[in-house]
Structure 1
Amino acid sequence: MTTIASQVVLHPVVSQSLKLLGTTLGRDKLYRSVQYFARFLAWFLLTRGYKIQAARWNALKSQLALGRKLMRLGKPLEHLQAALRAIQTRADAGEQITAIGRQLAYFGYLTYDGIVWANAVKFFNLSPSTTQKVNKMANRFWLAGILFSITHGLLKAGRLANEAKKLSGSQIWEKSLEVDRDAQLQALAAQRASTRHQFIIDILDVWIPATNVGLVHFNDGILGIFGLITSLLALRQQWFKVTGAKK
């Protein structure tokens, strides 16, 4: 029995999972996955008339959302630093502008999100109208950040595609140069894959703040599924990064 318990508790997957959950980002993406699954399930149960069961999942969704706000309290400064680094980095003008815009928008979003959290835990009390305005401003910044990210992804994807095309079409006469070109093509392929991955996440996530500010009107079932998919994609990416596993 002890041997079986040891094999389960000390299994490499368990160790890797603990390593993943030892990171703030890993925990955040796991909580976000459960949060948006709860959002979908609460909507699903409510449409079937199961109000009591739906209320339980709604409560779980709300508490996870509140807990994630607490974990993100220091992140506005991270995005501000990233914006300053983007200003100092030499890059394509369009990519640089959108990168700076994205980081500044996320800085604004998370700053207002922190105010929402402080009001929710009664650290200070805002009037209902002010709370609504702060929530809406946070979602506007979130939406702007995702739109900047989508634009950045499109510009970067186009540039990387052109660079890969030029490298593939170039004629190499020396073996050493051919090896170097293949290495560059592999690096470009990895960057293109990463850009596509982020684009998929952005194109699904964008509808959440867009709905919150009233630009579109998707129900909680659709938004829950979108949020669950993007959370699992981000969690998977963090898994590979932390554990060193091959994709």
Structure 2
Amino acid sequence: MSTVASQVILHPVVSQSLKVLGTNLGRDKLYRAVQYFSRFLAWYLLAREYKIEAARWSALKSHLTIARKLMRLGKPVEHLQAALRAAQLNADFGEQLTSICRQLGYFGYLSYDALVWANTVKFFNLKPSTAEKVSKNANRFWFAGILFSIVHGLLKAGRLANEAKRLHNAQFSDKGDTADREAKLKALSVTREATRTQFIVDLLDIWIPATNIGIANLNDGVLGIFG
């Protein structure tokens, strides 16, 4: 019995999960998954008039939303640093500009989001009209940050595709050069996959702030799935 328990508790998957959840990023991803699943499920149950069950999941969603805002209190400075680092890089101008704008967008979003959190937990009280403006501004910056991230992804994907094509078409007689090309192509493939993944994430994410600021009009069920 103890051997079975050891195999389960000490399983590599469990250890890896604990390692991921031991970081703020790992916990945030888990909280986000549960938060948006709760949003979808609350909408689904409410649509079928299971009001008590829907209220339970809606409450979980609300509490996780507040918890994630608390965890992100230091994030604006990280994005500001990322913007400054991007400005110092010798990179493609379009990619550099969109990267800077993306980071500044997230900086603005998370800065306003911190004010939203402080008002929600009653650390200080904003007038309802002011609180609404703060929330709107947070979502406008979020929308802008994601939009610049999408443009950045398109530009980067185009550049990486051209690099891969150039390497494929290059002719080498030396085996060392051929091996070097294969290594570069492998690295490019990994980078292109990461870029595609981020692009898909951004395409889904952007509908959340877009709906919050009135550009789109999606229900909580769709936004829960996208989130």
Q: Same fold (TM over 0.5)?
A: yes
Within 1, Cα distance between the matches of 2:36 and 2:130? 26
Q: Deviations over 1:31-73 (max 9, x none)?
A: 0000000000000000001111101100000000000000000
Identical aligned pairs, as a percentage?
Answer: 71
Q: How many residues align?
A: 227
Q: Does 1:140 align with 2:140?
A: yes
Q: Deviations over 1:106-159 (max 9, x none)?
A: 000000000000001110000111110000000000000000000000000000
| Equivalence map 1:103-142=2 (5 Å) | 103-142=103-142
Give the CA deviation at 1:9: 1.7
Give the CA deviation at 1:16: 1.1
Deviates more, 1:185-194 or 1:80-89: 185-194
| Equivalence map 1:67-82=2 (5 Å) | 67-82=67-82
Q: Deviations over 1:72-120 (max 9, x none)?
A: 0000000000000000001000000000000000000000000000001
Within 2, Cα distance between the matches of 1:182 and 1:2? 48
| Equivalence map 1:114-193=2 (5 Å) | 114-193=114-193
Give the CA deviation at 1:15: 1.1
Q: Which amino acid is 1:42 matched to?
A: A
CA RMSD of superposed structures (Å):
0.7
For the residue of structure 1 that corresponds to 2:33, the secondary structure is helix
Within 2, Cα distance between the matches of 1:39 and 1:164? 41
Within 1, Cα distance between the matches of 2:22 and 2:125? 33
Within 2, Cα distance between the matches of 1:76 and 1:11? 37
| Equivalence map 1:4-23=2 (5 Å) | 4-23=4-23
Give TM-score scaled by structure 2 length.
Answer: 0.99
Within 2, Cα distance between the matches of 1:185 and 1:83? 28
Within 1, Cα distance between the matches of 2:153 and 2:3? 50
Within 2, Cα distance between the matches of 1:18 and 1:214? 39
Structure 1: 5+ residue runs without aligned partners?
Answer: 228-247
Within 2, Cα distance between the matches of 1:10 and 1:148? 43
Within 2, Cα distance between the matches of 1:10 and 1:157? 40
Structure 2: 5+ residue runs without aligned partners?
Answer: none
Q: Deviations over 1:159-194 (max 9, x none)?
A: 000111111011111111111111111111111101
Deviates more, 1:4-13 or 1:24-33: 4-13
Within 1, Cα distance between the matches of 2:35 and 2:90? 39
Give the CA deviation at 1:30: 0.2
Match of 1:230 in 2: none
Within 2, Cα distance between the matches of 1:174 and 1:6? 52
Within 2, Cα distance between the matches of 1:159 and 1:49? 51
| Equivalence map 1:33-52=2 (5 Å) | 33-52=33-52
Give the CA deviation at 1:6: 2.1
Within 1, Cα distance between the matches of 2:198 and 2:98? 14
